[in-house]
Amino acid sequence: MTAASEKQETGAGEQPAWHALDPEEALRRLDADLEGLGAAEVARRLEVHGPNLQRPPRRRGRLARFASQFRNLLIYLLLAAALVTAALGHWIDTAVIVAVVLVNAVIGTIQEGKAESAMEAIRGLLSPEATVRRDDRRQTIDAAGLVPGDLLILEPGAKVTADVRLVSARGLAIDESALTGESVPVSKTIDPVPAQCGLGDRHSMAFAGTLVTTGEGLGVVVATGERTELGQVTEMLAEVETLTTPLLRHLDRLGRQLALMIVSTGALTALAGILLHGFSIVEMFMAAVGLAVAAIPEGLPAIVTITLALGVQRLASRNAIVRRLPAVETLGAVTVICSDKTGTLTRNEMTVQELLLADGLHVLHEEAAPSGEAAVALARAVALCSDAAVEPAGGERGRISGDPMEIALLALAESAGVDIEAYRSAHPRLDGIPFDSGHRYMATVNSDDKRRRLIVKGAPEAVVPRCERVLTGSGTAALDEAAWHRQAEHMAARGLRLLAVAERWLDDDSTAIHHGHGPDGLVLIGLVAIIDPPRDEAIAAVAACQRAGIEVKMITGDHAVTAAAIGRQLGLESDERGVTGDDLDALDDAGLREVARQRSVFARVSPAHKLRLVEALQADDEVVAMTGDGVNDAPALKRADVGVAMGRGGTDAARESAEIVLADDNFATIEAAVHEGRVIYDNIVKSILFILPTNAAQALLLVIAVLAGLMLPVTPVQILWVNMITAVTLALALAFEPPEDAIMARPPRRTNASLIPEGLGWRVIIVAVAMLIGTLGLFLRELADGRDLAEARTLAINTLVLFEVWYLFSARRLRESALNRSGLFGNRIVLLAGVAIIVAQLLFTYAPPMQLLFDTRALGSAEWLMAVLVSLPIIAVAEGHKAWQRRRGVGLSSGMGR
């Protein structure tokens, strides 16, 4: 080891200006070579340098989180109330209000912390990978295992996971916006640049955190972890996403408006009380405070956050990893899902079924291996023109790795008797054009006895027009292009994926091949037809989406006829051929909207078409989920309401632009995620519908009491107890509510619809009025019986809480009846919460410290019986309203839906 590398290893001393060194010098200083490090050396270096991890994003400290709980208008109001009660000498009230504010802040801090940890744990599931060359073999490893001296392979869409000095680069361009803010991708070369160059000009380097947009490259790792440029710019590190969503902001706004309204109503009521009934200012101040406290659902934001966070965890367990919290809400409202075909709707288990050669169609099966000169020529060509890797001899079966289609082609080559490794080493690759879904072919230049052979494979439309002749058993013959295209369509109509293979000798000296005036004058060897059947679960999921009023559109790079055939098998479309990218290009915006709405299979589309399709659908007010995997899919993923990236087959670029990542690349997971999104939203709505009647009943109770000149039936501190402790505990149980049966049988929710679905506002009012009558009635009866005020209030509060407990059972179902076994006992947490609250009420009523704090009195059994008898019928009231709505069909076809 050289002295310089020793210095580098210990991390001591200055880093050399890697960008100014020759690649060979960089390798030498890092004690590395082009074969890559060996396992033992990697382990040793990992020991010295530590894992390649960036410092975790800064997280808000617990104190900051605690402090943020006080940034709330309602809390200011409560603190003001505490000050005034203190000034008036109502010390117990002051203490209770302050205690409640503190308890609320502590609970909020803990809950938010939990929600943030949940999000962080989920993000941990997306740990980056790196493709390296080690021991002269390509390997995909966890990026944390990179060490200086490793050879990092850079491919389109990949995220660069350490700082590297490039040692080879072909058409390499990198998006460095994450590091330098420069949004245009930067071209990279291996030539040294002057040592004093700034980061943006170090064209011989690739930096951690940036994304490869095009081309290929190989770089030797010079810095890992916090020693990378990214690690140095700490302020660039993304903060943990704040836990806010449109819904939470909506609630926040609502809360503020409510608070203002309540303060004014409170003032007017107090004025009326003083003028009409001669109440004292102090009494009326307490009433106004009570009103403010009563009407605002204090616990709601916490409940929504927790429901969302729990939902994110459930989604992760179903293989859908949420990168951005608001997506959870949007998921439930999705109206169109645009999905890739290969691997998402289909199995991606590819097998070559047919070959079309000059002498006709060859149907392959186990006993019928490809034979004949043209078939062997084709097998040899695909063995060379392929990026699938073969593990060294002696390995096991299944030792071919790479793209499933290329694996199928290598299997074909093997069955035709080609020894792939031997053939590849006899014909090394000199140059190539990588596959790209824009031009739909790949090409390689291989040496063949002192000559050079160009091999091209790709979509027939991309390759056949570049051919002049066709290979026959005895040489070549003129090519009838139209006849080949006709035959290709026949094969495609059977749902087969097609690939044309062609070759030619290169006669000039240049090894470079370019797209523009590039491979033509080719000799067509033949067409390969590959079967990739739809996934069974995708067929079921498409049907489920259609029942749920969600349209599924297939967007693929495959042949229009193949795509339509697969589309038919999936139950998507009955047309003979899908709409092609060229068709889309010919349309104006209005035409595009029409086609986007009506058709479901889009074939031979490029990523730019995907973006246009999303925009056209959104212009029609659709809420669009769009899948993507390639680097060029990023704009469409960003534009979609829910961008869905593939976790296995996708590029880092796609993942970073998406809201959701599918761990299993499976369409059925998208359907499951939409289902889960609907459940989460439903549960939030259920919590809101559960909480609001209590608030409304309490507020009305106070207003009526003051206007009628009565004593307050409940005190502000008692109301705080109800809102902060009982209502929150009970409502939280709804976050665990299992889905209703019909959840995927109704159309998607309208995103602009109000928070409370149609018809359900009335339920809030009816239930609130029932609670009001029961509570006020018992309060007045107690007073009429000559009980003291504190005892009457204790009964009033207990009645109100019992109302809540019973109503919780009904609130578990928005529209379905809860009067059955699963409705009453289906959610164990609801039962537990009910029991917990009843125990809490007993303490509230009988425990001396609570009696002191809340001014409560012990109640007799007759009083309890009365409270139960009066409150229990709330179930009948709420269920009666549901039944009436069901009979009238309210909210089933509208309201919740479009």
Please pick, from the candidates 97, 499, 625, 691, the single residue that binds ligand ATP as defined by CB under 6 A: 499
Output the six-digit token pair for 688: 């809101």
The 3-class SS string of 264-325 reads HHHHHHHHHHHHHHCCCHHHHHHHHHHHHHHHCCCCHHHHHHHHHHHHHHHHHHCCEEECCC
3-state secondary structure of 847: coil
Residue among 606, 663, 664, 594 at smallest CA distance from 635: 606
State the minimum distance, in angstroms, from the CB of residue 552 to ligand ATP: 13
Name the residue nearer to ligand ATP (CB basis): 96 or 383.
383
Q: Is 458 a binder of ligand ATP (CB under 6 A)?
A: yes
Stretch (H or E) spanning 470: strand 467-472
* Strand ranges for 619-765 from DSSP E: 624-628, 642-646, 660-662
Return the number of the residue (16 or 157) whose C-beta is nearest ligand ATP: 157
Residue 502 CB, nearest approach to ligand ATP (Å): 11
Q: Which of 207, 435, 779, 854 binds ligand ATP (CB under 6 A)?
A: 435
437 forms part of the interface with ligand ATP (CB under 6 A): yes
Structure tokens at 643: 């961008």
Tell me how far, at minimum, the Cβ of 640 lies from ligand ATP, in Å. Answer: 15
Cα separation, 686 vs 751, whole angstroms:
17
> Strand pairing partners for 471?
476
**169 vs 30: CA distance, rounded Å:** 19
Whether the Cβ atoms of residue 200 and residue 180 lie closer than 8 Å to each other: yes
Cβ of residue 310: shortest distance to ligand ATP, in angstroms? 33
Minimum CB distance to ligand ATP smaller for 49 or for 497? 497
Q: How far is the CB of 16 from ligand ATP (least distance, A)?
A: 39
Contact 491, 354 (CB under 8 A): yes
Sole binder of ligand ATP in the list 29, 457, 593, 655 (CB under 6 A): 457
Q: Which is nearer to ligand ATP, 340 or 676 (CB)?
A: 340
Binding residues for ligand ATP restricted to 514-573, rule: CB under 6 A: 556-559
Counting contacts by CB under 6 A, is residue 442 touching ligand ATP?
A: yes
145 binds ligand ATP, rule: CB under 6 A:
no
Instruction: Choose the binding region for ligand ATP from 239-247, 361-369, 417-425, 438-446 (rule: CB under 6 A).
Output: 438-446
Give, in order, the Cα–Cα distances in Å from 708 to each of 350, 376, 703, 784.
Answer: 79, 98, 8, 16
Confirm or reject binding of residue 403 to ligand ATP (CB under 6 A).
yes
Q: Is 466 in the site for ligand ATP (CB under 6 A)?
A: no
Q: Write phi, then psi, for 188 (nearest 5 degrees).
A: -120, 145
Sign of CA dihedral 18, 23, 25, 28: positive
Smallest gap from residue 241 Cβ to ligand ATP (A): 29
The Cα–Cα gap between 210 and 204 comes to 14
Q: How far is CA 655 from the centre of its chain?
A: 9
Shortest Cβ distance from residue 79 to ligand ATP (Å)? 58
Taking CB under 6 A as the criterion, the residue among 111, 204, 319, 342 binding ligand ATP is 342
- Report the residue number, 497 or 504, with the smaller CB distance to ligand ATP: 497
Q: Which of 329, 340, 682, 782 binds ligand ATP (CB under 6 A)?
A: 340
Does position 895 bind ligand ATP by CB under 6 A?
A: no
d(CA 565, CA 559): 10
- DSSP string across 392-418: PTT--SS-EES-HHHHHHHHHHHHTT-
Name the minimum Å distance from CB 321 to ligand ATP. 20
CA distance 759 to 765: 11
Cα dihedral angle (391, 392, 395, 397), rounded to 10 degrees?
50
Among 190, 357, 405, 670, binds ligand ATP (CB under 6 A): 405
Q: What is the largest CA-CA distance in the chain?
A: 115
Catalytic residues: 340
Which DSSP letter does residue 790 get?
H
Q: Interface with ligand ATP includes 622 (CB under 6 A)?
A: no
> Parallel, antiparallel, or unpaired for β 497-506 and 624-628?
unpaired
Interaction mask 294-333, ligand ATP, x per CB under 6 A:
----------------------------------------
Nearest to 457 by CA among 505, 400, 527: 527
* Contact flag: residue 440 with ligand ATP (CB under 6 A): yes
At residue 792's C-alpha, the angle toward residues 789 and 797, to 5°, is 120
Q: What is the closest distance, in whole angstroms, from the C-beta atom of residue 354 to ligand ATP in the complex?
A: 14
* Residue 341 interacts with ligand ATP (CB under 6 A): yes or no: yes
577 makes contact with ligand ATP (CB under 6 A): no
Q: For residue 317, how many other CB atoms are within 10 A of its CB?
A: 8
How far apart are CB 465 and ligand ATP at their closest, in Å? Answer: 14
418 near ligand ATP (CB under 6 A): no
Candidates 51-59, 415-423, 493-501, 795-803 — which segment interacts with ligand ATP by CB under 6 A?
493-501
Q: Tell whether residue 406 is a contact of ligand ATP (CB under 6 A).
A: yes
Total residues contacting ligand ATP by CB under 6 A comes to: 21
Of all residues in the chain, what percent are helix, strand and coil, respectively (each to 5)?
Answer: 50, 15, 30
Q: Does 665 bind ligand ATP (CB under 6 A)?
A: no
- Nearer Cβ to ligand ATP, position 454 or 760? 454
Of 368-376, 422-430, 433-441, 638-646: span binding ligand ATP (CB under 6 A): 433-441
* Gap between the Cα atoms of 174 and 209, Å rounded: 11
Question: Is there binding between residue 441 and ligand ATP (CB under 6 A)?
Answer: yes
633 binds ligand ATP (CB under 6 A): no
The residue with tokens 């330098």 is 180
484 is a site residue for ligand ATP (CB under 6 A)? no
Q: Which is nearer to ligand ATP, 405 or 674 (CB)?
A: 405
Residues 113-132 that bind ligand ATP (CB under 6 A): none
Map residue 665 onto helix, strand or coil. coil
* Closest residue to ligand ATP in the complex (CB): 557
Q: At closest approach, how far in Å is the CB of 841 from ligand ATP? A: 59
Structure tokens given for 499: 């690939």
Say whether 468 sits in a helix, a strand or coil: strand
Which residues in this chain contact ligand ATP in the complex, by CB under 6 A?
340-342, 403, 405-406, 435, 437, 440-442, 457-459, 497-499, 556-559
